Amino acid sequence: MNYIIPFLFLITIVVFIHEYGHYYFAKKFGVGVTDFSIGFGREIFGWNDKSGTRWKICWIPLGGYVKFFGDRNVFSEAEQKKIIDKYNEVDRKKLFILKPLYQRSIIVAAGPLANYILAILIFAIINMVSGKDMTPAVINEVVKDSPAYVAGMKKNDKIIYIDNNKVESILQVSTFINTSMSEKIKFLVIRNDQEISFFVKPNLVEGKDSLGNSVKKRMIGIKLSPLNNEFQKKPLGPSNAIYYSVKEVWFVTTTSLNYLGKIITGSGDSSQLGGPIRIAKITGQVAEYGFIPFLSIMAYISISLGLINLFPIPMLDGGHLMFYLVEKILGKPLSEKTQEGFFRIGLFLLFSLMFFVTFNDLKDLGLF
């Protein structure tokens, strides 16, 4: 229960924000909304608002949806005419399918966008309330015969860039090393007021993360510690807080895309991919450290949900946007047979991914 309750709270907030993005712009453009659901399957409880939307919570808490009035795909002008004929003039104005292409695109894209906005706001609040660490990344020790030692790095070197990522905090060093997709990581350091660059090939070792979970770490053999063991954490003003928040969101997004690219090409470590079980476990572990860490993991999950939904896979928001792009280019929607084929492919990909990450999750728990 220590894991389930924080996970359900987190996923409910993140999914609600995603679906509310769709809902907000649908209402803004006059589209009728019949259902706003958190979760799938059988309804636990719900209510109808004055506009007729059914707001509900369902049993399977792994997503949600917003259902539009007359919701369905339109495959041809003939089919569109049949649908139009079923509704009177007032109801036709509420049909999602009859809205201009740009409005449909905005409504679909608004879900992932809402997730990104949520992440930016969370990081900004943390930066303003808790502060952002600005402790310089100065090397305290270089392990003899380690990759860093062989490359020529020394004690008191100040790390300022890792793979062109500016190091603004000692806490970022481990993150940049472990998220690097390069075989040899580029370090730029300051030594005696001079900038020196090094290329270091890390060792891949089995280890534990800060929560005690098994992970494969990239190690170069350096130890860092702040001066007098004091971290320089500074609360930021609104503009700086938002700036660093956007920067963090961009870093997480690009790093995730690079990692997935490596997975697709077969050069990445797919064992680190996790699904709902691992997310629930990590969420529960992080929640034990307090509200601020819990907010951080919520922001990261929100980014992941927004990014995944932008993938051009049918069944996801990105798949719909892909169809709209094709519609714009061709001047008409794809045929019913073509769209149904793509949806079957999308369903297969999603189920395959869910099976794979669930297997990884169970293996992580020691069940395989």
Token readout for 317 is 């928001």
Calculate ∠ Cα 351-356-360, nearest 5°: 145
- Residues 41 and 11: beta-carbon distance below 8 Å: no
Please name every residue paired with 186 in a beta bridge, in sequence order, or none if there are none.
199
Cβ neighbours of 247 (radius 10 Å): 15
Token readout for 271 is 């064992």
| Residue (of 273, 170, 286, 278) closest to 229 by Cα position | 170
- Tokens 């943390």 identify what position? 126
Q: 354: helix, coil or strand?
A: helix
Give the end-to-end CA distance of the chain in Å, rounded to a whole number: 23
Distance CA 323, CA 315 (A): 11
Q: Judge whether 288 counts as a catalytic residue.
A: no
Question: Annotated catalytic residue: which of 19, 168, 183, 288?
Answer: 19
Distance CA 304, CA 96 (A): 27
Q: 249: helix, coil or strand?
A: helix
Token readout for 101 is 């292409």
Distance CA 185, CA 222 (A): 14
DSSP letter string over 175-198? HHHHH---SSEEEEEEETTEEEEE
Give the sign of the dihedral formed by CA 161, CA 164, CA 169, CA 175: negative
**Which residues form the catalytic set?**
19
